[in-house]
């Protein structure tokens, strides 16, 4: 287990591979651990970090650190302490919000973004996320897809106040406006069967900047990286292979991927 101390508190992270740095940020249920298959797929050519954000997994739990702006500041401090100059960010749910907000605040530090299940507005999140106990949320959000046990086991480690504080932060920002100001290439992935985060309407997606692109996984729910791991990992690797600054709009789900993962 690897840790750093930030503002006197322990932040837990894990790392695999060598090469250009990537940072994976988890969502409202689980921890760094459900990123392991994706990290392994990326670690052949990249140095993949995954963090437990404040209030989750093995990281410190103190309510004053849970607001979205504090999670963004945590990521900045983490990069500074490890000497990471520029990154690709991969975020899911809450982690997608942190990644988007970080790229808006520190555009020079982010080479590209891949965000999954990103709520572009407070009204895009199912109200059940605000009211259900974490073990119950885990069962509802994860279902019984293969590979979900790691997130289910880690869910009870989270402080419920960390989930609540993130949702309060979402009420205070307009994430769609934040997205409109992003200058970094951004690939958005949505599960067609996501019960937690409602995907934006097509006219909203069409109005995003040129460097944004969205792809829908027809058979996935809230966790595309677990529901369709081969497809997700191939898409991530293709996105990472694009020249720096190139829009991801040229990326598509390839027919050979679909045949292999049915």
Alpha-carbon distance 240 to 44, whole Å? 12
pLDDT (tens digit per residue) in 47-61: 999 999 999 999 999
Give the global pTM. Answer: 0.95
Domain positions in the chain are: 2-261
253 versus 100: which is more confidently predicted?
A: 100
Question: Percentages helix, strand, coil for the chain, rounded to the nearest 5?
Answer: 45, 20, 35
Residue 260 pLDDT: 37
CB 53 within 8 A of CB 98: yes
Alpha-carbon distance 112 to 179, whole Å? 13
Alpha-carbon distance 140 to 132, whole Å? 10
Residue 33 pLDDT: 96
pLDDT (tens digit per residue) in 183-220: 999 999 999 999 999 999 999 999 999 999 999 999 99
Lowest model confidence (mean pLDDT) among 74-83, 110-119, 140-149, 178-187? 140-149
Residue 259 pLDDT: 38
pLDDT (tens digit per residue) in 92-102: 999 999 999 99
Tokens of 235: 């898409």
Alpha-carbon distance 142 to 234, whole Å? 22
CB 48 within 8 A of CB 22: yes
CATH architecture of 2-261: 3-Layer(aba) Sandwich (3.40)
CB-hemisphere CA count at 13 Å for 172?
A: 10
Query: In which band, very low, low, confident or very high, does the pLDDT at 233 lie, cut at 50, 70 and 90?
Result: very high
């Amino acid at each position: 287990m690897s840790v750093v101390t930030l503002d006197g508190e322990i932040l837990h992270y894990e790392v695999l591979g060598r090469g250009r740095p990537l940072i994976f940020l988890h969502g409202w249920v689980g921890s760094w651990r459900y990123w392991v298959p994706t990290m392994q797929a990326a670690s052949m050519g990249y140095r993949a970090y995954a963090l437990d954000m404040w209030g989750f997994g093995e990281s410190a739990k103190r309510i004053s650190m849970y607001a979205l702006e504090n999670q963004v500041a945590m990521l900045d401090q983490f990069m500074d302490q490890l000497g990471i100059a520029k990154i690709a960010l991969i975020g899911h749910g809450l982690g997608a919000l942190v990644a988007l907000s970080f790229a808006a605040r520190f555009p020079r530090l982010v080479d590209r973004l891949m965000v999954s299940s990103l709520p572009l507005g407070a009204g895009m999140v199912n109200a059940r996320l605000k009211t259900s106990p974490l073990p119950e949320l885990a069962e509802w959000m994860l279902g019984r897809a293969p590979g979900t046990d790691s997130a289910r086991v880690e869910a009870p480690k989270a402080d419920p106040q960390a989930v609540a504080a993130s949702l309060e932060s979402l009420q205070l920002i307009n994430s769609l406006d934040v997205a409109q100001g992003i200058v970094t290439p951004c690939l958005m992935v949505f599960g067609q069967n996501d019960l937690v985060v409602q995907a934006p309407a097509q006219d909203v997606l069409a109005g995003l900047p040129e460097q944004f692109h969205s792809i829908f996984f027809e058979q996935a729910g809230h966790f595309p990286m677990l529901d369709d791991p081969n497809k997700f990992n191939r898409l991530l690797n293709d996105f990472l292979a694009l020249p720096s600054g190139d829009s991801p709009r040229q990326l598509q789900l390839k027919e050979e991927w679909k045949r292999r993962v049915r």
